[in-house]
Every structure is written in C-alpha cells, then in structure tokens.
C-alpha cells in the first residue's frame, strides 16, 4: 500500500491522523510506503510515478481532504491497475461524505482492512480555454460556487473555524456574502452536443456533479449517482437576492429545486460559453478563470472503502 499524507489537512492535524493510522496498520501487519506531502501538486507527481508502468495493482491510500484526492486522481496513469482509498482528514471531506466513509478512523480502517468494498465510480474531465485538461471526482462548477472556493482558499476564516471543528460553516458564511457581491454574466449552455443551447441571460452558477454534495455537504444534485456514467447538472439563473438567500438556506434540505430558476439536468457532456471570464473550480480547488468550459464524464476509478 502506498500512503499519501497531507500534514496540513484538518488545520495541521494530518500527522496526528497519520500516526493513528500507522499504529493500526502496524498492528495488522500491513506493509506500506508513506509519502509526506509538503508542496502543491506533489501528490499528483508521486501518483504519476507510482502508476506509470504498472504490471500489478497499486493501492493508494490518501490521508487528506478533497484537494489531495483531486491531485491523486490527476496523477493516475493506469486506471485498470490503480485502486484509491481515503481516510477522512480535511474540513470539507465531501468525497468521503458522499462515499459513506466512517468518521471514526478506527472503524474506517477496520472496514478497509478486513471487509473492503471495491466500487467502480465515475470521474470527470474538464477542458477550459487554453488550459490543459483536468479531472475531477466530485464536481466542477462555474460561477457562484467557484467564487466561494476562491474566497475560502484566499481567506483566513476557514483556518479560524477549523480550530473549533466547524470549518464547513466557512462555505455557508462566504456563500451568503457572495449572494450580494457576485457579478452575473450572459451564457450559453449546450448539453450532450446539442446544437440548441440553453440561453442564460444572467448566470448565477452551473455545476456538473458526479456526487450529491459539494462545498462542505451541500446537496446541489440530490439524485446524482457516482456509478451511472452521467453528470448531474444544477443550473441557477439570477434571482432577486432575497430569493437567492432563501434558496441557499433551502438547499440543505434539498428544497432548492422548488424555485423556477433552479433546474437540474443529466448528460454525459456539456459545454458552457460565457460573455465574461468566470471562476472555475474542480473538487473545491479554484485553478483558473475561463470563458469556454467543457465537462465530460470520462471514465471509471477503482475506489476501495
């Protein structure tokens, strides 16, 4: 087993979690190689090296959050022989939440070691403007949710709230602020290579999801199935700010779809063209701004829990 440890996950508690995992692995006589991450994209580089010329299966266990998992996904070169697992360690942990990974480390490890379940799950790929393609596990969003990710990444609020174990609330607080500050744009959205686009006068945001939740447990696409080979899409057009605030509050109870200007769709690919460049996020990581974005349900990943 190859283990990637992000020591900065969970506000610096990543090493404490790793020490607990190591004790359990040693007790179970499981051999492993550990890689302590200390630089951006290091997980991607390590996984690229590990999976480049495989003849046998390589099992990678990630101790980190959604960002570390995204790096690992983008490093995989041989999907047939690579298995991915994770232990909850991060403030969002949307992927672990979506996949039903136990919060208790001992129980999660016991299940992984003694009663493992292998599931073939979907991953997506995004191509935007001049940038190279990137994969995503959970979701890729443009607009509101990407603006939230950008502000959370660059601000201090998340680190402060993480100290009190309520880091997920960062997304809620920043989300309320973005309702009032986000600037909208005109856009065209094409689903499954349709020649007839959905015309959007004022785009609030659009997200393509493999899983139900993103952004710290927000179920934008309640019916998303990570094994069906399809993207679930949540499209939100601009509304009066009070309605948007109400929609933000109602999304946690999956009632946001009662609003006429919030719609869901299902497709294998989609293409968005915006008048002004928009923030784009992949699994909560905001890598760039772009005007032309193409999502695609790309393939299958062997996930073991």
In tens, the pLDDT along 189-209 reads: 999 988 899 999 999 999 999
In this structure, is residue 304 part of a structural domain? Answer: no
> Is the domain of 66 the same as that of 151?
no
Give dist(CA 239, CA 261) in Å, integer.
7
The last residue of one of the domains, among 116, 144, 161, is: 116
Q: Are residues 69 and 108 in the same domain?
A: yes
Percentage of residues of the chain with pLDDT beyond 90: 68
**Backbone angles phi and psi of 234, in degrees to 5:** -115, 120
Q: Is residue 145 part of a domain?
A: yes
- Measured distance CA(93)–CA(172) in Å, rounded: 15
Same-domain pairing of 70 and 145: no
What pLDDT does 91 receive?
61
Is the residue at 129 inside a domain? yes
Domain count, the chain: 2
CATH code assigned at 48? 3.40.50.10330
Is residue 196 located within the same domain as residue 49? no
Of 81, 116, 151, which closes a domain?
116
> For position 160, what pLDDT does the model report?
56
What confidence score (pLDDT) does residue 178 get? 87
**CATH code for position 227:** 2.60.200.40
| Domain hosting residue 33, numbered range | 2-116
Same domain, 21 and 143: no
pLDDT at 43 over 70: yes
Residues 223-241, mean pLDDT to the nearest whole number = 95
Is 62 a member of any domain? Answer: yes
Burial (0-12, 13-18, 19+ Cβ within 10 Å), 157:
middle
Q: How many residues does the chain have?
A: 305
Give yes or no: residues 182 and 199 share one domain: yes
| Domain-terminating residue out of 116, 143, 176 | 116
Point out which residues pair with 293 in neighbouring strands.
128, 272
| Predicted local distance difference test score (pLDDT) of residue 236 | 96
Whose CA is closest to 215, among 138, 163, 154? 138
- Take residue 219 and report the two structure tokens written for it: 């179920």
Domain assignment present for 42:
yes
Which of the four pLDDT bands, split at 50, 70 and 90, describes residue 12?
A: low
The 10s digit of each residue's pLDDT in 143-165 is 998 998 888 776 666 565 555 55
Percentage of the residues of the chain whose pLDDT score is greater than 70: 93
Burial class (CB in 10 A: 0-12, 13-18, 19+), 111: middle
Asked if residue 79 is part of any domain, the answer here is: yes
* Domain identity same for 144 and 288: yes
In a shared domain, residues 128 and 227: yes
134 and 105 share one domain: no
- Nearest CA to 104 out of 225, 28, 17, 230 is that of 17
149 with 28, same domain: the answer is no
**Element (DSSP H or E) covering residue 208:** strand 198-209
Q: pTM for this structure?
A: 0.90
Give all strands (DSSP E) within 1-117, no chain letters.
2-5, 33-36, 58-64, 82-88
Q: Does the pLDDT of residue 140 top 80, yes or no?
A: yes
Mark whether 58 and 132 lie in a shared domain. no
């Amino acid at each position: 087993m190859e283990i990637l440890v992000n020591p900065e996950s969970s506000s610096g508690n990543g090493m404490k979690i790793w020490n607990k995992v190591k004790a359990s692995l040693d007790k179970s006589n499981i051999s492993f190689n550990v890689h302590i991450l200390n630089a951006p994209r290091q997980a991607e580089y390590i996984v690229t090296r590990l999976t480049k010329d495989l003849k046998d299966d390589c099992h990678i266990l990630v101790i980190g959050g959604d960002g570390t998992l995204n790096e690992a996904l983008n490093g995989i070169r041989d999907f047939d022989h690579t298995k991915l697992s994770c232990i909850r360690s991060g403030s969002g942990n949307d992927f672990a939440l979506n996949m039903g990974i136990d919060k208790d480390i001992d129980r999660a490890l016991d299940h992984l070691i003694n009663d493992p379940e292998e599931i073939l799950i979907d991953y997506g790929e995004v191509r935007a403007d001049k940038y190279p393609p990137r994969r995503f596990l959970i979701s890729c969003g443009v607009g509101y949710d990407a603006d939230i990710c950008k502000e959370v990444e660059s601000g201090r609020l998340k680190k402060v709230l993480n100290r009190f174990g309520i880091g997920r609330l960062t997304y809620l607080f920043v989300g309320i602020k973005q309702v009032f500050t986000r600037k909208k744009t005109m856009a065209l959205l094409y689903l499954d290579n349709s020649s007839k686009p959905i015309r959007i006068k004022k785009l609030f945001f659009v997200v393509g999801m493999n899983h139900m939740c993103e952004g710290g447990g927000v179920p934008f696409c309640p019916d998303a199935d990570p094994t069906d080979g399809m993207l679930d899409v949540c499209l939100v057009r601009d509304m009066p700010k009070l309605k948007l605030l109400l929609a933000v509050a109602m999304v946690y109870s999956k009632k946001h779809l009662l609003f006429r200007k919030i719609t869901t769709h299902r497709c294998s690919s989609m293409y968005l063209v915006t008048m002004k460049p928009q923030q784009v996020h992949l699994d909560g990581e905001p890598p760039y701004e772009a005007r032309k974005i193409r999502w695609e349900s790309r393939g299958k990943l062997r996930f073991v829990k």
